[in-house]
Chain A
């Protein structure tokens, strides 16, 4: 009993619990269909590459996970969300492909520039967008939603201009690497893992995490305590832009083209949802990065599960909504309190019976 309590009392218990719950649906489905019960979880090597639904979840969830890192910091520090990340992804991808293909070229298999310049250019573009957002929020005190609304609508259009209103195809294997395979492992998984690793090391071994939280809890008090609040917020937005840039490159590399209209479409909402599913308050302050990451993969797990179950496309959004409602409800404080009261009551009756 105490062991169970210890586990349920752990910080990340609920987000993890929800993810497992989502995946359990597949076990039930497989059993009902007479398949091997853990079909969903089987990982095998195919063509020398890892193959399986779990790999799909990790692979396809990479972009959202990378975005969730930046989004967590932004939410925590400024108590607002960056709704421009999806558009910034598209802009970074467009800029990268424009550099690689040359302006006005619609399709190429030869790189006009070294790969590294294109990729760094795209990521840098993400940082610039982040800096723009950060400047508006941190120094001009514009509300985050409003400030990022500018790039939300503009970035995609700028990307289209850069690409001369075309889908730019860079059909080059070296560019496809970022969305392809690194040995047997899909590269996006590696990139996401690296991003998560770097950020968690930064949070653990520097005071950054503490600063971000304190600014998020009380901006004024933090400033009086000697923390440059504006600078911290500015920094968080740059990191968010950086993450969007990286995610943009991954998304574009997957399809070896810059599809400005569709890359990162509605990803900002998934990123915000990931932060929320991870048990973080959108009101800012304390945050758990791990929660957001788990949230991101939970979202992808839902999508992959719906594919696996063969739910018809018209109905899929409804199921997704139901799952999200359930997860949010389970994590809501009133619900938690209710469960606690319930178990306390049971304990009491049990205690009474023993006496």
Chain B
């Protein structure tokens, strides 16, 4: 059915091109090289009958039929006029978050939606990723999506893309040494940190907690998520005179979070009332450590637990009241990337930096929204439906 719609649309655009003149129609043909035969035929006919509008309409109608048949025939061949080829060089498969990111792309850029996705898992090897991008240039794909493993060393290969006329869209992580890409789609980690701070401020005011003594379990040293979340939370903490007792890395792992929290429990026994874990896995580890040390944590207990990422397992803990608030880091970049591609297809210029919508999940229904960076943003109370729908 979708194929039919696509082919009808194509015909319509060809007819339109006829009126506009031959220059336009050759563009359409270039966009649909796979359908050369049908397109050429249509164009020949159109050229012959260029003087006669009625004949041209006939030809277009003929072409519609031919195109339909061709589309049906070509179904086995796999490509028809509307297919957009996309090369995606993914970081690897190191976490649930990454898996969700990959799946999002595979779902959105599926054959059914009229895309041909060339997916390369680069296994955290920066050199392999650059090779993958070069491979995409060789294959002459229409668009390239990169989730850069490292932030530097991209200028050469992006210049090659530019020379080949292939637009590059960067997702998630950033490229620092080149701006030869169309757009970047990702999360604003600092906003996540700010949101956590703003929520804590509002929550403490609501609960009548006057003094905040926070312990932070950071992510991997130097990671952009770590830097952004630390910076954002610290900004609010400094502005409100909160004490950050300590801030050490848990490497984004459960074992790391456990070990750091085990030490915190001894160093700051009875002195802290907030624990900020920069991802869910660290929060799981920290909770085990606090349980073993006999520290009461969670909703309505001594210690407030704040986490980031909001994966399914994390949201389950929010619902059970072990984590007070979880700040999402949205892995589903593909829908936004598709919007960028659609903008480009229609000849528009997309924005250079696109921040994805993210949700702030909480357990209690006592606050409805918080103001982050001057913007009012809603808080979502976790329910079973939300957990089921999460990645």
Q: Which residues of A contact B (CB under 8 A)?
A: 46-47, 49, 51-53, 56, 60, 106-107, 160, 165-167, 169, 181, 251, 254-255, 257, 259, 261-263, 304, 307-308, 310, 312-314
Which secondary structure characterizes the binding site on chain B? Answer: helix
Q: Quick one: closest B residue to A56, CB to CB?
A: B262
Task: Tell me whether A60 and B259 are in contact (CB under 8 A).
Answer: yes
Best-surrounded residue of A49, A107, A166, A307 (most CB of chain B within 10 A): A307
- In the complex, what residues of B have CB within 8 A of residue A53's CB? 263, 266
CB distance from B43 to the nearest CB of A (A): 47
Are A304's CB and B94's CB within 8 A? no
Taken residue by residue from 273 to 290, chain B's Cβ proximity to chain A (1 for < 8 Å, 0 otherwise) reads as: 000000001001100100
Pick the 7 closest A-B CB pairs, nearest first.
A307-B263, A313-B249, A255-B254, A165-B93, A262-B253, A261-B94, A47-B294
Min CB distance, A141 to chain B, in Å? 31
Excluding A255-B255, A259-B254, A263-B255, 10 further A-B contacts by CB distance (< 8 Å) are A47-B293, A254-B258, A255-B253, A259-B253, A259-B255, A261-B95, A307-B259, A307-B267, A312-B247, A314-B221
Residues on A with C-beta less than 8 A from B281 are: 167, 259
Closest residue on chain B to residue A317 by CB atoms = B221
Q: Are A307 and B292 in contact (CB under 8 A)?
A: no
Most central of A53, A263, A310 by chain B CB within 10 Å:
A310
- Which residues of A lie under 8 Å from residue B94 when comparing CB positions? 261
Q: Could you mark each residue 204-246 of chain B with 1 if its beta carbon is under 8 Å from any beta carbon of chain A, else 0?
A: 0000000000000010010000000000000000000000001
Contact among A52, A56, A166, A304 with B96 in the assembled complex (CB-CB below 8 Å): A166
Identify 11 residue pairs between A and B in the complex whose beta-carbon atoms are under 8 Å apart, listed by A's number: A46-B293, A49-B292, A52-B266, A56-B263, A60-B259, A166-B96, A251-B255, A304-B263, A307-B248, A307-B263, A313-B247
B244 to nearest A CB, angstroms? Answer: 12
CB neighbours (8 Å) of B93 from chain A are 160, 165
B198 at the interface (CB under 8 A from A): no
- CB pair B262–A166 under 8 Å, yes or no, is no
Chain B contact patch, size range? 20 to 34
Q: Which B residues are within 8 Å of any A CB, using their own CB?
A: 93-96, 99, 218, 221, 246-249, 251, 253-256, 258-260, 262-263, 266-267, 281, 284-285, 288, 292-294, 312-313
A308 touches B255 (CB 8 A): no
Distance of A200 Cα from B194 Cα, bound (Å): 55
Chain A residues whose C-beta falls within 8 Å of the C-beta of B294 in the assembled complex: 46-47
Closest residue on chain A to residue B221 by CB atoms:
A313
Which residues on the A side are within 8 Å of B248 (C-beta)?
307, 310, 312-313
**Beyond A107-B313, A255-B284, is A51–B293 a contact (Cβ under 8 Å)?**
yes
- Alpha-carbon separation in the docked complex, A166 to B259 (Å): 23
Contact assessment for B254 and A310 in the assembled complex, using a CB-CB cutoff below 8 Å: no
Residues of B close to A46: CB separation below 8 A: 293-294
B99: A residues at CB distance < 8 A = 165-166
Nearest opposing residue in chain A for B252, CB measure? A262
Closest residue of chain A to B92, judged by CB?
Answer: A261
B121: nearest residue on chain A (CB-CB)? A165
Query: Of the candidates B249, B285, B313, which one forms a contact with A169 in the assembled complex, judged by CB atoms under 8 Å apart?
Result: B313
A40 to chain B: closest residue by CB = B266
Q: Give the shortest distance, in Å, between B355 (CB) and chain A (any CB).
A: 27
Q: Give the distance in Å from the alpha carbon of A131 to the alpha carbon of B22 in the complex.
A: 71
Residues of B within 8 A of A312 (CB): 247-248
Cβ B95 vs Cβ A167 within 8 A? yes
**Once bound together, how far apart are the Cα atoms of A165 and B285, in whole Å?**
21
Task: Return A213 CB to nearest CB of chain B, in Å.
Answer: 35
